[in-house]
């Protein structure tokens, strides 16, 4: 192996210098907690006392016999399946429209993006008001439903909230993707007589596939981890219809003093997200030339 020159060594040192600090932070605040979670998932620990009993896989076996765990897993998957496709399509659609030369374009772009940069506490509070029994939604449509206390609609309301906030966020990603599509393709299509709708399906959708993949991956991870909207809007209720895995982890760790058990549930959630991403990676990854 040839000896690196002084210049190369300096470059390596500089590289380490740039990498060192973030690595340290990530190691301390990301990798260490992940490893530690795995470690304590084998213990019976309430966090408050020093007594930490090693119980092997008992937390996991208990977890799988808790009907609420299965319910929250089901809710999490349902939520993800409901939110990801709609938010991705809506984001793409919004981006497509916002990429046209229409009047007040920058206003609309800002308007669609604002929910994404607004705190989830604020948007959740807004949705509570909108979907309450005497709220705007019921008044507009002449309904009498209390969306958030009805077990059949509570999850839908929270899904709507998330779709509304994140589609604006992903719209920006799609906009960037759209702007890299050469205009000549659209010109050629127009000459051949393609309608706007045809242009959308035949040019835009295939051309932004790499962005779509990115949005799907991020959207999926985000949906699996949904917490703050649940925490504020429904606290898992009514009748556990909105208890998701991350909320289940939170209540077990910090309300029921079962930290080891909560860690086990968090590990299961991580495995779930990881496997879902693997599936995506295998079947949906765009081919890179």
Question: Interface with other proteins by CB under 8 A: which residues?
Answer: 6, 9-10, 13-14, 16-17, 20-21, 24-25, 28, 46-49, 62, 65-68, 129, 132-135, 146, 148-151, 236-240, 251-252, 254-257
Q: Which two tokens stand for residue 67?
A: 């009907």
CB of residue 150 vs other proteins: minimum separation in angstroms?
6
What does each C-alpha distance from 81 to 40, 159, 223, 230 come to in angstroms? 31, 10, 9, 17
Q: Which residue's CB is nearer to other proteins, number 200 or number 231?
A: 231
Q: Which residue's CB is nearer to other proteins, number 9 or number 190?
A: 9
Cα distance between residue 92 and residue 174, in whole Å: 6
Q: Which residue's CB is nearer to other proteins, number 62 or number 209?
A: 62
CB of residue 106 vs other proteins: minimum separation in angstroms?
36
CB of residue 210 vs other proteins: minimum separation in angstroms?
35
Q: Which residue do the tokens 């991870």 mark?
A: 221
CB of residue 138 vs other proteins: minimum separation in angstroms?
9
CB 75 within 8 A of CB 155: yes
Cα distance between residue 164 and residue 157, in whole Å: 11
Ramachandran assignment for 182, one of left (phi > 0), alpha (psi -120 to 50 degrees), beta (any other):
beta
CB of residue 252 vs other proteins: minimum separation in angstroms?
8
Q: Which residue's CB is nearer to other proteins, number 13 or number 198?
A: 13
């Amino acid at each position: 192996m040839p000896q690196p020159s002084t210049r190369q060594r300096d470059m390596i040192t500089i590289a380490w210098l740039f990498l060192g600090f973030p690595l340290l932070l990530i190691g301390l605040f990301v990798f260490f907690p992940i490893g530690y979670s795995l470690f304590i998932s084998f213990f019976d620990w309430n966090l408050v006392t020093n007594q930490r009993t090693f119980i092997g896989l008992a937390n996991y076996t208990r977890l799988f016999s808790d009907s609420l765990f299965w319910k929250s897993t089901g809710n999490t998957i349902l939520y993800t399946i409901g939110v990801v496709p709609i938010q991705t399509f809506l984001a793409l659609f919004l981006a497509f429209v916002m990429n046209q030369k229409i009047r007040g374009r920058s206003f609309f772009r800002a308007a669609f993006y604002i929910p994404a940069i607004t705190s989830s506490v604020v948007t959740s509070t807004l949705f509570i008001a909108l979907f309450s029994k005497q709220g705007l939604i019921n008044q507009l449509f002449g309904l009498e439903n209390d969306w958030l206390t009805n077990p059949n609609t509570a999850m839908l309301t929270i899904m709507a909230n998330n779709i509304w906030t994140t589609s604006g966020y992903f719209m920006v990603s799609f906009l960037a993707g759209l702007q890299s599509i050469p205009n000549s393709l659209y010109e050629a299509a127009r000459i051949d007589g393609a309608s706007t709708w045809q242009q959308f399906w035949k040019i835009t959708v295939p051309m932004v596939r790499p962005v779509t993949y990115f949005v799907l991956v991020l959207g999926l991870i985000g949906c699996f981890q949904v917490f703050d909207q649940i925490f504020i809007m429904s606290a898992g209720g009514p009748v556990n219809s909105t208890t998701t895995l991350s909320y289940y982890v939170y209540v077990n760790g910090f309300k029921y003093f079962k930290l080891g058990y909560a860690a086990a549930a968090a590990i299961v959630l991580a495995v779930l997200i990881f496997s879902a991403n693997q599936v995506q990676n295998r079947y949906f990854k765009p081919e890179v030339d």
